[in-house]
Amino acid sequence: MTEKKSEDYFAVAPPKRSGWASFKIFLWNGETSEFLGRSASSWAKIFLFYVVLYAFLAAFFAAMLMVFFQTLDLYQPRWQNANGLIGTNPGLGFRPMPTSSNVESTLIHFKHGTAGNWKHWTSELEKFLYPYDTVASSGEYFTSCSFDKWPADGKVCNFDIKLLGTQCTKEENFGYERGRPCIVLKLNRIFGWIPEPYDDLNDLPANMPTELKEYIKTKATENKEQLKMIWVSCDGENSADREHIGNVTYTPFRGFPAYYFPYKNVPGYLSPIVALQFQKPEAGVLINIECKVWAKNIVHDRQRRLGSVHFELLMD
C-alpha cells in the first residue's frame, strides 16, 4: 500500500508555470536552496575543480617555459652566420628615411633654402644620431679605438659624433638648407660576423670603381693599417644619374673600420656610420643612387640588394 502511494506521488506532473516564473525558479529555488539549478555544495565542488585544473595548467606551462629558457642564451643567438637565417652578408642601410605614411619609399625629396621643406629629413637625422653623442656613448664598456688600437674583449669602440666634421651636423642642418644634403650609411648587425678587408692591393676586385682603387692605393702609402676597412662607394646607377650626382664626400672614413667588428652584443655597442655629402647635386632632377660596401666576404647582387643600398635624391 505504501509503494502504491509512492508511485502515485512521483507520477504527478509538476505544476504548470509561466516562462518568467520558471526562469525565476531556475535562478533561485527557495524550496531546494539551489542557484542556477545547483546547490551550494555542487557549486563549491565545480569551483574547486576548475581552480585545481587551471592551477595545474599554469604550473605546467611555467615549467615548460623554464625548460625552454634553459636552452637559450640571452647574449648570443644559437644559430650564427651561415647556420642562421640572417646569413653572412650584412645589409647596408641609409638615413634619413621617409615618413611613416610612405615607409616603402626610398625617395629623399626636399626643397632647399631658408623657405625649404627639409625639416623632416634633418629631424630624422638628429633622432638617428642622438645615441652617437659622446654623452650617450660613454661608460664602462666604451673605449677609444684606432687602426693601431683595437678594443679588448668585453669592450666596444665609441663613435664620437664630432668625427663627422662640421658640415654634416645639426648646426648646419645637415647641408639640406644649402642644397648639399648629407646621407648616413650603416651596416646592419650580424652577431659574430668578422669582415675580411681588401688589405692587399693585388686582391682588389675588377669591378671595384677605379676612383676607389686609387683612393685605397693612396691610403696604403700612408699607413697600411688603414686598409683594414670595409670600403664604401656611392654613385649614380645609370650614366644619366652619374652625370647629375656631382661630387660626393665621405666622413669620417671612406668606409667602416674593421676594429668595430665583430658585433658581440656588448652593452652600448653602436654600429659605425659613414656620412655622405652630395656637394652639388643637380636641382630638379631625380637621381638614382647606389652605394656598395666592399670586403672579401661581402657578396654583391643588385636584384636581391646584397652588399648595396639604393635610394633616390630629388632636390628642388
Residue 247: CATH number of its domain = 2.60.40.1660
Looking at the fold, whether 36 and 125 belong to one and the same domain comes out as: no
Task: Please tell me which residue, 144 or 296, carries the higher pLDDT value.
Answer: 296
pTM of the model: 0.77
Task: Please tell me which residue, 17 or 116, carries the higher pLDDT value.
Answer: 116
Where does the pLDDT of residue 245 fall: very low under 50, low under 70, confident under 90, or very high at 90 and above?
very high
Residues 142/154, Cβ–Cβ less than 8 Å? no
Average pLDDT, the chain: 86
Q: Is the pLDDT of residue 5 over 60?
A: no
The residue among 72, 105, 137 that closes a domain is 72
Where does the pLDDT of residue 13 fall: very low under 50, low under 70, confident under 90, or very high at 90 and above?
low
213 within a domain of the structure (yes/no): yes
Looking at the fold, whether 204 and 107 belong to one and the same domain comes out as: yes
Residue ranges making up the domain that contains 68 = 18-72
Looking at the fold, whether 165 and 213 belong to one and the same domain comes out as: yes
State how far the alpha carbon of 147 is from the alpha carbons of 183, 282, 292, in Å: 25, 37, 22
Looking at the fold, whether 131 and 178 belong to one and the same domain comes out as: yes
Count of domains observed in the chain: 2
Looking at the fold, whether 174 and 30 belong to one and the same domain comes out as: no
Task: Please tell me which residue, 2 or 107, carries the higher pLDDT value.
Answer: 107
Q: Which amino acid is at 72?
A: L
Q: Which amino acid is at 191?
A: F
- Average pLDDT for residues 239-263, to the nearest whole number? 93
The residue among 41, 72, 103 that closes a domain is 72
Q: Determine the pLDDT at residue 119.
A: 93
149 within a domain of the structure (yes/no): yes
Q: How far apart are CA 290 and CA 276, in angstroms?
A: 12
Q: Determine the pLDDT at residue 270.
A: 87
- Average pLDDT for residues 105-114, to the nearest whole number? 91
Considering only CA atoms, which of 184, 162, 174 is closest in space to residue 256?
A: 184
- Average pLDDT for residues 260-269, to the nearest whole number? 88
Highest mean pLDDT among 35-44, 94-103, 152-161, 228-237: 228-237
